[in-house]
Amino acid sequence: MPDSDPLRPLRLLVIAPSWVGDAVMATPTFRLLRHTLRGSFIGALVRPGIDQLLAGLDVFDEVHVAAPGGVMGPKHAAAKVRHRRYDTALLLTNSFSSALITRLAGIRHRIGYERDARGLLLTHKLGAPKRADGSWAPVAAVRYYDTLAQAFLAPDADDSPRFMELASTPEQSAASADVLSRAGITSDTRFAILNPGGNDAAKRWPPDRFIEAGKHLAQRHALRVLVNGSPGERDLVGSIAQACGGVSLTDLGITLGSLKGVVARACVMLTNDTGPRHIAAALGVPLVSLFGPTDHRWTVIPTRPGAPEELLRADPTLPESELANDHPERCRVDRIATADVVAALDRVLTNAH
C-alpha cells in the first residue's frame, strides 16, 4: 500500500513501456511527473526505437537506451544508468527484468506493480487490478500508469484532463517532409493513412478489405492514400498500396521518428489495434480503429476535441464481464464488415474539425 507521504525524488528514473502504443499511452504520466517534480532530474530507460518515438518531448532530462534481453541484458542496462545515481525508479513495465535492472543499478526506492514474481525487488508496490476469477482486469493503460505514479509520487495531482502527446525534433520534421515529398504529397494535398499490419496476425483485418476502404477514401473523399507498415510488412503494404492506387510508406523508408510528422498531416487513419493508432491519437488525427480478439478496454485512449475515433469491435455484443482475448473465434477481426468500416470513415471525416 502507498505511504501517507509521497516520495519526493531528486533523481527519478522512469522505466518506459517497451511497445510503441504503450509508450504513447504513458505520455500523460510522463507529463504529470514533469509537472509535479519541478526541479528534479528525470531520466528514462527505453528500448531502441522508443527513443525516436519520444524524441522532441520536453519531459525527460536524459534518455538512456538499452535492450535488456538475454542473460546479461539487465546487467548491461543497469550499467547504462548507474552513473546517474538515481534515488528512485518508477517501473511502468510489468517485467521481472525491469525490477532487476533497477536493483542492480543500486536505486534505493523502486516503485511498481507487484506482479511477475518481482515483489521482493520492489520497495513500493501496488497490486495490479484483477477480475473475480484472478485474471488481470482490463484496465486502460493510460489509467494503469497514472494510478501507479499518483500513488507514490503525485497524490495531489491536478485532475484536469490530460492527453497523450508526441512531438518531433527538427531532424525528424525534415525527414517527414522528405518522405511526404517523395510520396508526391504537397502542402495542400489531403491524404489518409492505412495501417494494415500488427505484431499479431490475429489482429489484422483482411488486406482485400483495406484495399476496398482505400478505394473508397480516394473516390468518395478525394484523398490520396498512404499505406504504412514495418519493414517486415513490406510485401503486405506494397500489395495494398498498388491495388488501391496508393503509396507505400515502407518503400520510402519510413521510421518511427519520421512517421510522427507524416501522421500529423493526415486527415484520417484506418488502423488495426497497433502502435500507429496511438501515434495518431496523440497527434489529434481522426481514427477508425479495428479490434478483433484483443479487448479494447486495455487501450482506451483520451482523444482530443475535434479528433474523433470510431472504434469497431468484431463482436460488440460481447458482455462486459467477458474479455475478447478469451474468445478468439467469436471475436475474429474479419467479422468486421467492410460496409461498417466505410460508414465509420464517412462519419469520422464528416465530424472532424
Domain holding 246: CATH number?
Answer: 3.40.50.2000
- Residues 181, 73, single domain; the answer is no
Residue 301 is assigned to a structural domain of this protein: yes
Three cell numbers written together for 263: 501522421
Q: How many CB atoms sit inside 10 A of residue 27's CB?
A: 24
Residue 290 is assigned to a structural domain of this protein: yes
Residue 165 is assigned to a structural domain of this protein: no
Closest to 95 measured CA to CA, from 45, 132, 146, 161: 45
- Residues 198, 130, single domain; the answer is no
Is the per-residue pLDDT at 121 higher than 70?
Answer: yes
- Residues 201, 285, single domain; the answer is yes
pTM reported for the whole predicted model:
0.95
Domain end position, chosen among 152, 186, 202: 152
Is the per-residue pLDDT at 204 higher than 80?
Answer: yes
Contact 268, 9 (CB under 8 A): no
Residue 310 is assigned to a structural domain of this protein: yes
Strands (E), 47-200: 62-65, 88-91, 109-113, 124-126, 191-195
Residue 3 is assigned to a structural domain of this protein: no
What range does the domain containing 96 cover?
A: 11-152
- Residues 344, 199, single domain; the answer is yes
The pLDDT of residue 59 is 97
- Residues 64, 120, single domain; the answer is yes
**Nearest 5°: CA angle at 317, between 316 and 320?**
90
Residue 1 is assigned to a structural domain of this protein: no
- Residues 146, 218, single domain; the answer is no
- Residues 133, 186, single domain; the answer is no
- Range scoring the smallest mean pLDDT among 107-111, 160-164, 194-198, 220-224: 160-164
The pLDDT of residue 68 is 74
Is the per-residue pLDDT at 1 higher than 60?
Answer: no
Residue 247 is assigned to a structural domain of this protein: yes
- Residues 278, 337, single domain; the answer is yes
Is the per-residue pLDDT at 4 higher than 70?
Answer: no
Q: How far apart are the C-alpha atoms of 318 and 108, rounded to whole Å?
A: 45
- Residues 341, 201, single domain; the answer is yes
Rounded mean pLDDT of 265-272?
Answer: 98
Q: What is the pLDDT of residues 184-198, one digit of tens each?
A: 999 999 999 999 998
Three cell numbers written together for 277: 493508432
Q: What is the pLDDT of residues 223-241, one digit of tens each?
A: 999 999 999 999 999 999 9
- Residues 229, 82, single domain; the answer is no
The pLDDT of residue 158 is 67
Band (pLDDT 50/70/90 cuts) for residue 160 is low
Domain end position, chosen among 105, 120, 152: 152
Residue 345 is assigned to a structural domain of this protein: yes
- Residues 106, 189, single domain; the answer is no
Q: Which amino acid is at 86?
A: Y
Name residue, grid cell 541484458: 73
Rounded mean pLDDT of 50-75?
Answer: 93
Rounded mean pLDDT of 199-211?
Answer: 94
Domain end position, chosen among 106, 124, 152: 152
- Residues 35, 117, single domain; the answer is yes
Number of compact structural domains in the chain: 2
The pLDDT of residue 145 is 97
